Amino acid sequence: MGFNKLEFLDKLEELQTQYAECKIDTEQFEKSLRDLGIDTESVAFEIDAAEDARYNFKLDQAKQNEK
């Protein structure tokens, strides 16, 4: 099953958002990246980027809970 570039980017963005919002764990995120055809070297890069987004999401959640 092939993806066109837009479908691929949409699926990647959806995965990143799900991970950043703690809807999926790291193992699910990594597996889903590989299922999309992202190679091992790129998986590490994507995880780093998603970890930053996840950290910022958790900070925002904590700030909202303080109010």
Boundaries of every domain in the chain: 9-66
Supply the DSSP string of 15-42, one letter for each residue: HHHHHHTTSS-HHHHHHHHHHTT--HHH
pLDDT tens digits for 15-63? 989 988 889 998 998 899 889 888 777 777 788 888 888 888 888 988 8
Taking the C-alpha atoms of 30, 47, 10 and 55 in order, what is their torsion angle to the nearest 10 degrees?
120
Q: What does pTM read for this prediction?
A: 0.68
First and final C-alpha spacing in the chain:
47
According to the model, what pLDDT value does residue 48 have? 82
